[in-house]
Amino acid sequence: MTRAIILVADSLGVGQAPDAEAFGDAGANTFHHIVQHMDKIGDPIKLPNLQKMGMFNICAEANNVTYPNLPEVDLIASYGYMAEISSGKDTPSGHWEMAGVPVLFEWGYFKEKQNSFPQHIIDQICHEAGVDGILANRHAPGTDVLTWFGEEHINTLKPICYTSVDSVFQVAAHEEHFGLERLYDFCLVARRVLDEHNIGRVIARPFVGEDVNTFKRTGNRKDFSVLPPAPTVLDKLFDAGGDVISIGKIADIYADQGITEKYKATGLEALIDKTIEQIKSTATEQTIIFTNLVNFDQDYGHRRDIVGYAKALEYFDSRIPELLACLTKQDVLYITADHGCDPTWPGTDHTREYVPVIAYGPSINAVNLGERSTFADLGQTLSKQFGLAQLDYGTSFWTDISK
């Protein structure tokens, strides 16, 4: 009997994927470019624990780069890097694929940069939700729309609706003036309307504050996702009587399917705290504790904040000893990502990259897993770890890492 703890370092790509050119991302490399930038400004990034877990080896092998200034260390974890076969570089595709179900169909997208949503869709959503209209209707970063439209939203109570290159319809609204539950209800209407257009996610983005100087997103974000197209490893463990504990936005990404418990937390510190709390308090067998560390992506990747991303990685690294100290003999900690979001890259969108896969546990070998052809290798490994039926995609590396 066993337990798995999965930490998704949201957007921590490790170099251009084999098909990156098709996405306009040839040359993107989230981790390496952060390291390079910190060296350039004279503040080298310090990640001693991730180094021992193979993080620098992963990026070096995936991209044929070197890190000559690093001290030599004994590696304590198995490590490799995974390519994505899903059609997009979005959050649901990455997460579903790592759980064994790649997205091999094309999502619907709102491709126009301005007037992104067709009028008939806006009219239908507004009519069914009982609002007078929307603001924005464009591609935009989530923080910018608050600056551009926040005060007008308070005055008109029209929700701020925007999108990106991902298959997404995002809605920002004031928690008090518009109302949090009203925002969720509006998003539920949008979710129903957009189902026929194959839009992956509708995201509620609540905020507070009274003017452009005080507007701030809250921790009450909620994603309204479509269901994965097939049972994931989470479903299979759930059906076998195991537990799947969601921390952060995991439950939203999987539309609550295959989830037995869910916990919200806001900020990197709180997400790690909640993960440690669950490691200490939950059953030590047939359990997945699944955490998305969203702040790497939303606070630093999309905002192209290189130094902020580096400091967040250093903070994460500083908490790793606490995480490892909580593990029982049969536990396995996996660290991975769902896509890239290179903060040195033009624009504010995700980047098509390899992602790391790290496996550590008291009963786990430290081996080089090399290049993996799909994120689904992680799902297949979890399936093998828990003695579940084989998934349709992926190749397990369980026999390679287990002693």
Which of the four pLDDT bands, split at 50, 70 and 90, describes residue 1? Answer: confident
DSSP 214-280: T-EE-S--EEEEPPPSS--HHHHHHHTT-EEEEESSHHHHTTTTT-SEEE---SHHHHHHHHHHHHH
In a domain, 221, yes or no: yes
Which domain-ending residue is among 195, 225, 255?
225
CATH number at residue 144: 3.30.70.1250
Tell me the pLDDT tens digit for each residue of 128-186.
999 999 999 999 988 899 999 999 999 999 999 999 988 999 999 999 999 999 999 99
- Let me know whether 148 and 292 are in one domain: no
Tell me the pLDDT tens digit for each residue of 29-38.
999 999 999 9
Phi, psi of 284 (to 5 degrees): -95, 15
Phi, psi of 196 (to 5 degrees): -70, -10
CATH number at residue 395: 3.40.720.10
- Let me know whether 175 and 258 are in one domain: no
Partners of 357 in the beta sheet? 80, 336
pTM flag (> 0.85):
yes
- Let me know whether 85 and 10 are in one domain: yes
Give the model's pLDDT for residue 283: 82
Least confident of 86-90, 140-144, 174-178, 230-234: 140-144
**Residue 348 pLDDT exceeds 90:** no
Averaged pLDDT for residues 210-238: 95
In a domain, 112, yes or no: no
- Let me know whether 393 and 272 are in one domain: yes
Instruction: Give me the number of domains the chain comprises.
Output: 2
- Let me know whether 212 and 245 are in one domain: no
Tell me the residue range of the domain where 348 lies: 3-104+229-401
- Let me know whether 236 and 219 are in one domain: no
Cα gap 226→202, rounded to integer Å: 9
Which domain-ending residue is among 171, 203, 225?
225
Tell me the pLDDT tens digit for each residue of 94-106.
999 999 999 999 9
In a domain, 189, yes or no: yes
Cα gap 183→179, rounded to integer Å: 6
- Let me know whether 177 and 247 are in one domain: no
Cα gap 360→335, rounded to integer Å: 9
DSSP state of 359: E
Cα gap 117→85, rounded to integer Å: 28
- Let me know whether 250 and 376 are in one domain: yes
Cα gap 378→333, rounded to integer Å: 12
Averaged pLDDT for residues 337-348: 95
- Let me know whether 350 and 239 are in one domain: yes
In a domain, 205, yes or no: yes
DSSP 154-221: HHH---EEEE-SSSEEEEEEEIIIIIHHHHHHHHHHHHHHHGGGT--EEEEEEEE-SSTTT-EE-S--
In a domain, 111, yes or no: no
- Let me know whether 78 and 155 are in one domain: no
